[in-house]
Structure formats: C-alpha cells, structure tokens
Chain A
C-alpha cells in the first residue's frame, strides 16, 4: 500500500535517514521501532509531507507522492500524529477535533456567510462525531477546556482523536502511548485493533513500548542509524542479535527481553 524506496534525508552533514526502504501492507498494523535518533520520526515526516526527502521515492497505492505537501496527502487518506503533541492551544478540545474533517462547506467563506443550512447540517454531523471520539478517549469532561491546558498525556490522546476525526486509509502514529497511563494504554491498543478490523485502517506505529508493539504489530520494522536493520514478526526481531546490539549501542534502555 505504502512503499518507501531508498529514502534519505540529510540535515546539513547529518544523515538522519539513509537508504531506507520498506513496504507497509494494506490492512496491516506495522510497527516501526529503533533506538532514539534512528530516524523514525524523520521518516514519518517525509511520508506525511512535512519534509521533502533529500532523495528516494515514496509511493502510495501506486501513486508517486514524494514531496507532495501534507494537506494533499491528507486528502489521499494519509493521516499522521506527532511525537510532540501539536494542538491548537487557544481552541477548545472539541474545536480541535472539529477542525479536522475534510470537505467542510463552512470553510468556504461564501458558504459560511450565505448558506447557513448546509453549513449547519455538516457542523452537526462533525460535532456528533467529535463527541463520540471524546467519549471514546474519555475526554468528554474536557470538551470545553482549552487544548493548551491539557496534560501531556491528554494531549497525546487528543492527537489520536484528531486521527480518528479524519477518515484515513493509513494512520501514522508517532509514539501514541508515550505518557498515557497503563489502563488507557490498553484501551488504546484495543481501539487501534478495532479501527483496523472494523474500519480497515492501516496503521504504522512508532513506539518504544515493546509490549504494545508485541501485542499489536505484525510485521515490525527495526530502524537503526537511518536505515532498516531488519524486519519480521516481533518474535523474530526480538531474538535478533543485531537488534539487541543496536539498542545497547544507542542510548535507549533495552526493553527487549
């Protein structure tokens, strides 16, 4: 569904991503792991159009999407969340969610001013959906709170909420579990599974929580120093000596056991 070929990104002299190639199969929940600084987030940034690759090619369902801007990719069905939460601080939590859906007639100035009926109907739908998402994330009580006032973990949930507001084909989650409490983490994994099964969302998940990866992901891609070290089932990856090496060599605590 999504394929990355020989992707590279240099920041000045630093090669953050280098000759990185992998595929994400339709309907899979693919894990993307690797030590800190391996280039995972940078890879996401390039796939989602936030950064232009230095070289390489990205295709999505056969279309070359290399270097396309983020907003166009959204409309092709690619949604991403951010490792460091990016919320609309001075807007309410509910509004943060309501901003997301595409094709809102009210975003057209003339419709906003003169065709209130059409705008109102769509707004009702969107509000309904947003309230469901909040319910799901157990953030209902915070609907009217300014997003800037949320705690770190709540902001992570809001990131996820935004992904749920879109109707994406593939969701790129950058450490969705970081800072989220264990109970909710379980629900989160349930939710990802459910979205995958019932709505056939494809997922690619960056995560340092190996339990979560082990539970959800098949296959798992391991990145180190900007390229793919190995990939396969969690079982296979877990016992791979090179993977252990990469984690021990990096500054990450090895959670692999």
Chain B
C-alpha cells in the first residue's frame, strides 16, 4: 500500500465516521420518540430536510437562485435548523399526537413528504431540483485532510454531548415518565400525567436532533438538493439502525448508526462490482441486503444488539 492509497483510506474512514456520527444523532432522536415514548415517526426525512435547508439558507452568501445571503456563521445555521425544526415538530405534534401509533406513522410519512415537496417546489427559496450549493464547511480555512478531520471531531463532540444529555434525561423521572406513557397510556393518565403534552415534548426533542443532523449534512457535503433528503437514506436507514442497535438504549442507537452506516457504504463497494446488467438494480440489492441483515439480527437479538435496560435507574442508588 503506497502513501496515496493509505491517505485515500484515511479520508474514507474520516467520512465514514463523520456520516456515521450524523446518523447517530438521528438515531438518538428517533430513540427519544420511539424507544422511550413509543411515537412512530416515519417522517424523519422531512425534519432532516428542514434542518438542512434552514442551515443552508442561513449560512450561504447571497445568490440570485435561492433565498439566503445571510452569510451567518455555521453555528447560527445549526442552531437555526434546530429552532425551526422544533417549531415545525411542535405544530405537527399538536395536529397528530393524539393518533394511535400506526396512524401516527402514516400521518408522519405524509407530512414528511409534504415538507420535502414544498422544499423541492418553492424554487424561489430553495432553487428547486438544482439545490443550494456553496454551503460553507466549518474549518474551511484548514488544509485538506484537517478540515475534514476537524468537522469529524465536531460531529463526534456533538454526538457525545447529546448522548450524555439524553442518557441523563432517560434515567431521570422524565425518562421514566416517557417510558410509562409508552407502556400504558391509560395508567399514565390515571396517574395524573398529561400524556399529550409529554408526547409532543418527546416528539419535539427527537425531531430537533433530526434537524440538526440535516444541518450538519448540508455543511458536510456543501450542497443540499432534493436527492440528499430521500426517505430511503434517512427514514428507512435510521429506523433499521435503531432497531438493530437496540431501541430504548442510547448506546444501542449510536452503535446501530455506525454499524449500519458502515455496512451500507460497503454494500456500495459490493454492488459497484456487479455485472453491468445488474448494476441498475444495485439500489434494490442494497435494500434487500439490509432487510436480510435486519432479519438475522432480530432472530438472534430480539431487542437489538444492546437492548433496553431500565432497572438500573432506581434500585442501585440509595
């Protein structure tokens, strides 16, 4: 292996960890919604897209093709992405949170797609199918590998910070309450818990992380267009990651994200070797592979690789 090759592998690894980390954020978000509270959000793509576009619009320089020109620092873009997704999730929550979980899934699929269609068709704001380019990458002034490494470290720092916050919340009465709502909403109501309010809260918290992931993605690939917000690579993959890693377990969510992202991106290497007549079907092949893997994992580990553990929270502390 010569130096150039090694360098190439190193860059690949950096990108693997960066994107894995971004997925880990989405998984943590979905874990709050589904793992803790039992909310079936099938519209992850929509919140991801909102976050991506908001951060892109806030941070890019002026352009005749799309709304923007605010040229704000990346941190503002990301915070903006979180604030806007929070508001949108709040509105969606007010509308839908009373629905039973399967209906909530259908409603959120629809809402997610509506967001994506709006973003695709409001060309004055988003430049439609051509997307928004020249989104600034933080650490852009650094030389080639260091800017990427810097961004990777930023993503990892964000993941670690949120992991600790969410784990703390999970072990607090807040997490107990969310689990109680997931387990039995009638009993939770009879115990004086305002189930709707807390569900909306969990829905917002989870969606905010999806919006943040969208924002980070936009900065990382420096471009955002409708193709980058496909439900396949957002909603579908994130669900698989959480289920494989262990729904209800924050470490499981993170593990699932890195593991499945690695497998997903290696599967591209595999499918690129397929004979030409099969190559057009490569995408389906990859989905099939993921589905198969999901089956295998669930056969062995019903609750995911790292299943939920709740008991620790109460007894060991006197």
Q: At the interface, yes or no: A70 with Cβ under 8 Å from chain B?
A: yes
Report yes or no: B187 in contact with A82, Cβ–Cβ below 8 A: yes
Within 8 A of B (CB), among A129-147: 143-144
Point out the residues of chain B lying under 8 angstroms from A144, CB to CB. Answer: 311, 315
B115 to chain A minimum Cβ distance, whole angstroms, is 25
- The one of B177, B194, B201, B311 in contact with A99, judged by C-beta atoms closer than 8 angstroms, is B177
Contact with A along B141-165 (1 / 0, CB 8 A): 0000000000000000000000001
Q: At the interface, yes or no: B180 with Cβ under 8 Å from chain A?
A: yes
Report yes or no: A92 in contact with B179, Cβ–Cβ below 8 A: no
Report yes or no: B192 in contact with A88, Cβ–Cβ below 8 A: no
Report yes or no: B173 in contact with A70, Cβ–Cβ below 8 A: no
Report yes or no: B180 in contact with A113, Cβ–Cβ below 8 A: no
B238 to chain A minimum Cβ distance, whole angstroms, is 22
- The one of B172, B184, B194, B195 in contact with A88, judged by C-beta atoms closer than 8 angstroms, is B184
Interface size on A, residues (CB 8 A): 40
Report yes or no: B186 in contact with A86, Cβ–Cβ below 8 A: yes
The complex places the Cα of A107 from the Cα of B310 at a distance, in Å, of 16
Q: At the interface, yes or no: B4 with Cβ under 8 Å from chain A?
A: no
- Nearest residue in A to B197 (C-beta to C-beta)? A71
Within 8 A of B (CB), among A82-132: 82, 86-92, 94-95, 98-100, 102, 104-109, 112-113, 119, 123, 127
Q: At the interface, yes or no: B308 with Cβ under 8 Å from chain A?
A: yes
Q: At the interface, yes or no: B1 with Cβ under 8 Å from chain A?
A: no
- Nearest residue in A to B185 (C-beta to C-beta)? A86
Q: At the interface, yes or no: B176 with Cβ under 8 Å from chain A?
A: yes
Report yes or no: B189 in contact with A143, Cβ–Cβ below 8 A: no
The complex places the Cα of A119 from the Cα of B313 at a distance, in Å, of 13
Given contacts A92-B314, A106-B172, A109-B169, contact A99 B180 (CB under 8 A): yes
B246 to chain A minimum Cβ distance, whole angstroms, is 13
Q: At the interface, yes or no: A69 with Cβ under 8 Å from chain B?
A: yes
- Nearest residue in A to B201 (C-beta to C-beta)? A109
Point out the residues of chain A lying under 8 angstroms from B165, CB to CB. Answer: 113
The complex places the Cα of A74 from the Cα of B297 at a distance, in Å, of 43
Q: At the interface, yes or no: B168 with Cβ under 8 Å from chain A?
A: yes
Q: At the interface, yes or no: B6 with Cβ under 8 Å from chain A?
A: no
The complex places the Cα of A71 from the Cα of B193 at a distance, in Å, of 5
The complex places the Cα of A107 from the Cα of B201 at a distance, in Å, of 11
Q: At the interface, yes or no: A75 with Cβ under 8 Å from chain B?
A: yes
Given contacts A90-B183, A112-B168, A162-B187, contact A143 B315 (CB under 8 A): yes
Report yes or no: A80 in contact with B190, Cβ–Cβ below 8 A: yes
Point out the residues of chain B lying under 8 angstroms from A79, CB to CB. Answer: 190
Report yes or no: B168 in contact with A91, Cβ–Cβ below 8 A: no
Report yes or no: B176 in contact with A91, Cβ–Cβ below 8 A: yes
Report yes or no: B169 in contact with A71, Cβ–Cβ below 8 A: no
A222 to chain B minimum Cβ distance, whole angstroms, is 26
Within 8 A of A (CB), among B40-65: none
Given contacts A86-B187, A86-B190, A92-B311, contact A99 B176 (CB under 8 A): yes
Point out the residues of chain A lying under 8 angstroms from B173, CB to CB. Answer: 98-99, 104-107, 112, 119, 123
Q: At the interface, yes or no: A166 with Cβ under 8 Å from chain B?
A: yes
A227 to chain B minimum Cβ distance, whole angstroms, is 25
Report yes or no: A50 in contact with B183, Cβ–Cβ below 8 A: no
Q: At the interface, yes or no: A48 with Cβ under 8 Å from chain B?
A: yes
B285 to chain A minimum Cβ distance, whole angstroms, is 37
The complex places the Cα of A50 from the Cα of B175 at a distance, in Å, of 24
Given contacts A87-B184, A99-B191, A162-B191, contact A112 B169 (CB under 8 A): yes
Q: At the interface, yes or no: B174 with Cβ under 8 Å from chain A?
A: yes
The complex places the Cα of A69 from the Cα of B193 at a distance, in Å, of 10
Given contacts A99-B177, A108-B174, contact A90 B308 (CB under 8 A): yes
The complex places the Cα of A98 from the Cα of B172 at a distance, in Å, of 11
The complex places the Cα of A100 from the Cα of B205 at a distance, in Å, of 23
Given contacts A92-B314, A94-B315, A95-B176, contact A113 B168 (CB under 8 A): yes
Point out the residues of chain B lying under 8 angstroms from A94, CB to CB. Answer: 314-315
Point out the residues of chain B lying under 8 angstroms from A105, CB to CB. Answer: 173
The complex places the Cα of A107 from the Cα of B181 at a distance, in Å, of 12
Point out the residues of chain A lying under 8 angstroms from B179, CB to CB. Answer: 88, 90-91
B265 to chain A minimum Cβ distance, whole angstroms, is 34
The complex places the Cα of A89 from the Cα of B177 at a distance, in Å, of 13
Kindly name the residue among B168, B180, B187, B193 whose own CB sees the greatest number of chain A CB atoms within 10 A.
B187
The complex places the Cα of A102 from the Cα of B190 at a distance, in Å, of 11
- Nearest residue in A to B177 (C-beta to C-beta)? A107
- The one of B184, B205, B310 in contact with A95, judged by C-beta atoms closer than 8 angstroms, is B310
List 26 A-B residue pairs with CB atoms under 8 Å apart, sorted by A's residue number.
Answer: A49-B189, A70-B189, A71-B189, A71-B192, A71-B195, A74-B190, A80-B190, A82-B187, A86-B184, A86-B187, A88-B179, A88-B188, A91-B180, A95-B176, A95-B311, A98-B173, A102-B192, A106-B172, A106-B173, A106-B174, A112-B172, A112-B174, A112-B175, A113-B168, A113-B169, A166-B192
Chain B contacts to A: CB under 8 angstroms: 165, 168-169, 172-177, 179-180, 183-184, 186-195, 198, 201, 205, 308, 310-311, 313-315
The 3 A-B residue pairs with the shortest CB-CB distance in the complex, in nearest-first order: A74-B192, A106-B173, A112-B172
Given A92-B310, A95-B310, A109-B205, 7 more contacts at CB 8 Å? Answer: A49-B189, A50-B186, A50-B189, A86-B190, A99-B188, A144-B311, A162-B191
